[in-house]
Amino acid sequence: DAAIAQGHGLFETVKAYRGRPYALPDHLARMSRGADALGFKAPALDEAAASIRRVLEANGLEDSPTCRIRLTLTGGVESPSLFYEASACPFHPERAKVITGPFVRNDRSLLAGFKTVSYGENAVATRLTKAAGADEALWSNTKDELCEGTWSNVFVRLEGRWITPPLSSGCLPGVTREKVLALAPEVGIAIGEVPIPMGSLSGIEAAFLTSSIREIQPVVSIDGRPLAESGNADMEKLKTVYTKLVASSL
């Protein structure tokens, strides 16, 4: 299989709420962009939605408050295969302890920004993160700029301003990241997409992580340095408006 031999494949992780997958078109659009690069063809929305219903029912999760769905597209250019999995959402604490370390994304990679199955680096980073007693690690890129978390996008507040790494940093174009950027102006929060030197991380006043499963997760500390609570009000506003968006979209 090309996925095993060459890491040739793509995946998406979707969160379902009582059997309804959230933002499925956004996830499939991202998979389609990656499929174009790898020579695959992503599933159509109707096909994916029907398959997700079947796998949720088969696992008795159609009425679960939340669950995790994984779509994996692999098998080679000539005979691609699509797999669907459904399981309980992995646990994420209310607030994350974050570390930095020898974690570097190649922002010049041909696969930068695609959600491929070539996640060996992520597996090693996860092990190191857990060994350090933390919940997530922050990655730089080859320019020594903040890129993303191992399994998340990251937003930080520096000098009173909320910012997040731009897509040019090599970070994944996260679905939740995009939703937060669109929602922020509705609650009076401006978020800039600008390069963030790793050397400036010591000045971070507040931060939060985003992903489909964790949604919006405040960061309580970076490398053991506690963050102030000054950004909590903004994060609560974002969490509230995001929850409303999810509810209105299901």
- pLDDT by residue (tens digit) across 120-136? 899 999 999 999 999 99
Locate 242 and state its tokens.
């995001």
- pLDDT by residue (tens digit) across 192-229? 999 999 999 999 999 999 999 999 999 999 999 999 88
Give the rounded distance of the alpha carbon of 186 from its chain centre: 22
Task: Using the predicted structure, report yes or no on whether residue 77 has a pLDDT greater than 90.
Answer: no
Which letter, b or e, does each residue of 140-161 get, where b requires 16 or more Cβ atoms within 10 Å of its Cβ?
bbeeebbbbbbbbbbbbbbeee
Task: Using the predicted structure, report yes or no on whether residue 81 has a pLDDT greater than 90.
Answer: no
What is the three-state SS of the chain?
CHHHHHCCEEEEEEEEECCEECCHHHHHHHHHHHHHHHCCCCCCHHHHHHHHHHHHHHCCCCCCCCEEEEEEEECCCCCCEEEEEEECCCCCCCCEEEEEEEEECCCCCCCCCCCECCCHHHHHHHHHHHHCCCCEEEEECCCCEEEEECCCEEEEEECCEEEECCHHHCCCCCHHHHHHHHHHHHHCCCEEECCCEHHHHHHCCEEEEEECCCEEEEEEEECCEECCCCCHHHHHHHHHHHHHHHHHHC
User: Could you tell me what percent of the chain has a pLDDT over 70?
Assistant: 95
- Residue 76 banded pLDDT, cuts 50, 70, 90: low
* Closest to 69 measured CA to CA, from 54, 60, 82, 56: 56
User: According to the model, what pLDDT value does residue 1 have?
Assistant: 52
CA distance 168 to 172: 10
CA distance 149 to 136: 6
140 touches 154 (CB < 8 A): no
CA distance 156 to 31: 27
User: According to the model, what pLDDT value does residue 4 have?
Assistant: 54
Q: Give residues with Cβ within 8 angstroms of 41, minimum separation 6.
A: 35, 80
193 touches 163 (CB < 8 A): yes
- Residue 187 banded pLDDT, cuts 50, 70, 90: very high
Task: Using the predicted structure, report yes or no on whether residue 230 has a pLDDT greater than 80.
Answer: no
Beta 161-164 vs 153-158: how paired, if at all? Answer: antiparallel
- Residue 8 banded pLDDT, cuts 50, 70, 90: confident
Task: Using the predicted structure, report yes or no on whether residue 3 has a pLDDT greater than 60.
Answer: no
